[in-house]
Amino acid sequence: MEVSLITSIVLATIVFLLYKLTTRSPTSTKKRLPEPWRLPLIGHMHHLIGTLPHRGVTDLARKHGALMHLKLGEVSAIVVSSPKWAKEILTTYDIPFANRPHSLPGEIIAYHYTDIVLAPYGEYWRQLRKICTLELLSVKKVKSFQSIREEECWNLVQEIKDWGSGRPINLSEKIFKLVATVLSRSAFGRGIKDQKEFTELVKEILRESGGFDPSDIYPSINFLQRFSRKRVKLNGIRHSLDNIIGNLVSEQKLQQVNNTNHATKLSNKNETLLDVLLRIKETNEYPLTDDNIKAIVLDMFGAGTDTSSATVEWAISELLRCPRAMEKLQAELRQAFKGKERIKDDDVQNLTYLNLVVRETLRLHPPLPLVIPHECREPVNVAGYDVASNTKLIVNVFAINRDPEYWKDAETFNPERFENSSTTVMGADYEYLPFGAGRRMCPGAALGLANVQLPLAHIMHYFKWKLPNGASNDQLDMTEVFGSTVQRKNGLVLVPSF
């Protein structure tokens, strides 16, 4: 890929120079958004080679401004990199920019855009958001999964204890498995027969969704669309997933018929996410098909696993490099759980410092630093600039969360900065947007935070952690990798002691 991209840049440069020599650019009176210098065919892609997209885009924004235009292949995008512009776009222009662009995962994995994340803005999406707010991801529903979270966190503690004190363990794998199991029990109730295969498939979707593919940046080239490697890969994943989820839906329907025959109707409190969706379908509250249900259930995994597990990993990483914060957190946990054998979900809600650590982690390491691309549904004029329909909107949360105008020592991990601050999951001035903002803002923040706080409290309360081979904690490698979320490049392999 690297080679073909470099070859394309060389070719494009030659074509560009020839073009410049033989033509004169017509003078245009139109006000154009600032942008870096571009090449024909590839646009601004060469500026991003060798960088992580969120860091590359942030560097460009520092040079060219907080409202900037980028051309990536054929695709035009505006990039918003300051709280001021985020507020302007996500309030005044929120509806025009509430669409999602075409994508292969949307077409193939999300049963032709019938999930929530990738559905186009419109009546169907509005109904799904309502189902999320009132049913699937309501505070009440999140609370109803409390015992699942507690049990699975306790299982992790036992697993680490069984593994043994003083032996390096790959904590990243354990954390991903924990979050995926909590979600799958919340979605399907009992453990899934094919849990391992299912978790692997979810991991593959996440890998493929974040991966770069020429068909994404040259959407008009039919050949690339039809024969892309990503399409073949995603079709394979979809086939396997469809079987697993299809079986789960059929089993659950059967179970519901049995329950009705035996007059053992589930109370809403005990319903899994799948039960809720099947009930909504049965009662015709919303006209959902089986495929719609599968797409929605898959969203819960796609949107909920990597985001929460990456946040737990980054929190541990930052704490290891900041012994003062680590000690303060462990002291808070010791004090709160003195004499208690197990940690309860309700207990962690009131832990002030734990809360500050999570907020600061999400500031420095938002799992979706460029959110999920939005798309403009109609031509709009933003601050005198004409923006054509189908232009993508990239909200650069990475730059916003580190904007030095809003954040003192913006690059430093300092949970205390949130003390006495009223900032919740969204900054009042749009200076803190780990869950996005506007109509497309994450509807799963309450569940996401619960799936971060309880595992982190367990991992930090029951164990002390250090790096293997006597390395000092400030040597911890913090290299990132950009996929569907920004993760640690290398798994967190640490030595527990207890």
Q: Could you tell me which residues are beta bridge partners of residue 448? A: none
CA dihedral 482, 243, 133, 85 (to 10 degrees): 20
How many of the other CB atoms lie within 10 Å of CB of 263? Answer: 6
Does residue 368 interact with ligand HEM by CB under 6 A? yes
The residue among 12 and 376 lying less far from ligand HEM, judged by its C-beta, is: 376
Closest CA to 413 of 487, 478, 470: 478
Does residue 367 interact with ligand HEM by CB under 6 A? yes
Residue 426 near residue 80 (C-beta atoms within 8 A): no
Closest CA to 249 of 286, 284, 288, 205: 288
Draw the binding track, 136-175, toward ligand HEM (x: CB under 6 A; -: no contact).
Answer: -x--------------------------------------
Taking CB under 6 A as the binding criterion, the range among 155-163, 324-332, 407-415, 444-452 that sits at the site for ligand HEM is: 444-452
Closest CA to 450 of 195, 137, 158, 173: 137
Does residue 93 interact with ligand HEM by CB under 6 A? no
Does residue 97 interact with ligand HEM by CB under 6 A? no
User: Residue 78, SS3?
Assistant: strand
442 annotated to bind ligand? yes
Does residue 117 interact with ligand HEM by CB under 6 A? yes
Angstrom distances, CA of residue 165 to CA of 319, 455, 494, 498: 20, 19, 11, 6
Does residue 486 interact with ligand HEM by CB under 6 A? no
User: Residue 400, SS3?
Assistant: helix
Does residue 436 interact with ligand HEM by CB under 6 A? yes
H runs (alpha helix) in 211-344: 214-217, 222-227, 229-261, 273-282, 290-321, 323-336
Does residue 455 interact with ligand HEM by CB under 6 A? no
Taking CB under 6 A as the binding criterion, the range among 201-209, 235-243, 328-336, 430-438 that sits at the site for ligand HEM is: 430-438
The residue type of 336 is: A
The residue among 46 and 100 lying less far from ligand HEM, judged by its C-beta, is: 100
User: How near is the Cβ of 253 to ligand HEM at its closest, in Å?
Assistant: 22
CA 56 – CA 62 distance, rounded (Å): 10
Contacting ligand HEM (CB under 6 A), which of 45, 60, 277, 371?
371
Give the binding-site size for ligand HEM (rule: CB under 6 A). Answer: 26
The residue among 218 and 271 lying less far from ligand HEM, judged by its C-beta, is: 271
User: How near is the Cβ of 434 to ligand HEM at its closest, in Å?
Assistant: 5
Does residue 442 interact with ligand HEM by CB under 6 A? yes
Does residue 427 interact with ligand HEM by CB under 6 A? no
CA 215 – CA 108 distance, rounded (Å): 14
Q: Which residues bind ligand HEM (CB under 6 A)?
A: 116-117, 129, 137, 299-300, 303-304, 307-308, 311, 367-368, 371-372, 434-436, 440-444, 447-448, 452
